[in-house]
Amino acid sequence: MTIPDFQTLMLPVLKYASSQNEHSLRKAVEFLVNQFSLSEEERNAKLSSGKQPIFYNRVGWARTYLKQAGLLETSGKRNYLRITDRGKDVLKSNPSKVDMRFLEKYPEYVEFRERTRETGEEIEEHISSTLTPEESLDAAYRKLREDLAKELLDNIVRSSPEFFENLVVELLVGMGYGGSGANAARAVGQSGDEGIDGIIDEDKLGLDSIYIQAKKWTDKPVGREEIQKFVGALQGKRARKGIFITASRFTDQAREYAANIDMKVVLIDGKRLADLMIDYSIGVATVNTYEIKRIDSDYFIETLE
């Protein structure tokens, strides 16, 4: 099954906390993982930031909204929850679901939402959303990144072959290969036209070399034959490692061939090239940076004498 959204989780979280005892958020997550029969992959799936599991994030936000409506309360212990009398009354009424629209009957929740809303249109959009705030940010970030990658590829396609070769070198240097940019750039073209466009050091000490083939093809994919030629050129140099980079794509036969040979040949197509350029800030500039912060619960724990 798919991972339930945070609004779907509100009623199960409330039911889990139905006893008077305190319950840790982690125990609630473990209980709900089993209740929804999530697979190991679904349980471990993480937000784009890679810092928090999606399911844990959604259970956490379900708890947050229930708390803001007065159905749950915290006991002072970090990441613990406990049901309130109001929460018990809700369960006694046996609701079919508890979601953000349901919570609007409570003034504390309305006040909380008004502090974070700006327009009526945004209110309606968020109430019907299945995404937590972090997931909404993730989705917006992914969309911006996809648009940026497409724009990068458009610019690469319009560039000259010489520019493309220099871009490849600059990217590899940015990734930590080849020492200085000047030394790496001089390697391009020095090996002649034997199926290799350049050589770059694997590390700054030059302990091993990586051979490069850069083809700025845009009208057709790179097939198995081109990879075979590159591998033959590597064998002629007694090389063990190579990188084949294109602004186009590779055929399935080309990828299968590269995956089943003894030497290490990495294939980088246009999509991956654009992603790497974004990751290593090649040809892009940072416009804004946003920090997401959480309450430091330890800060608010008073020391008893």
Q: What is the pTM of this model?
A: 0.65
More confident residue, 22 or 271: 271
The contacts of residue 155 (CB under 8 Å, 6+ apart) are: 283
The contacts of residue 41 (CB under 8 Å, 6+ apart) are: none
In this structure, are strands 241-246 and 264-268 parallel, antiparallel, or unpaired? Answer: parallel
Q: What is the pLDDT of residues 176-192, one digit of tens each?
A: 887 655 555 444 444 44
H or E segment and range at residue 78: none
Find residue 222's DSSP bridge partners: 250
d(C-alpha 53, C-alpha 25), whole Å? 13
Mean pLDDT of all residues in the chain?
Answer: 83
Band of pLDDT at residue 210, cut at 50, 70 and 90? confident
Asked if 215 and 196 touch (Cβ cutoff 8 Å), the reply is no
Q: Locate tokens 């430091």: which residue?
A: 296
Structure tokens at 297: 């619960």
Band of pLDDT at residue 236, cut at 50, 70 and 90? confident
Nearest alpha-carbon partner for 129 in 8, 2, 293, 47: 8
Give the helix ranges, DSSP H, for 118-243.
120-127, 133-158, 161-174, 181-187, 224-236
Asked if 33 and 1 touch (Cβ cutoff 8 Å), the reply is no
Q: What is the pLDDT of residues 64-103, one digit of tens each?
A: 899 999 999 876 667 788 899 999 999 999 999 999 999 9
Q: Identify the weakest region by mean pLDDT among 18-32, 83-97, 114-128, 199-213.
A: 114-128
H or E segment and range at residue 111: helix 107-114
d(C-alpha 91, C-alpha 254), whole Å? 59
Nearest alpha-carbon partner for 235 in 194, 174, 175, 180: 194
Q: What's the whole-number mean pLDDT along residues 11-30?
A: 89
Domains of the chain listed by start with CATH number: 10-131 (1.10.10), 159-279 (3.40.1350.10)
H or E segment and range at residue 279: helix 270-279
Structure tokens at 199: 């050589």
d(C-alpha 169, C-alpha 241), whole Å? 16
Spacing of C-alpha 93 from chain mean position: 40
Nearest alpha-carbon partner for 249 in 264, 227, 233: 227
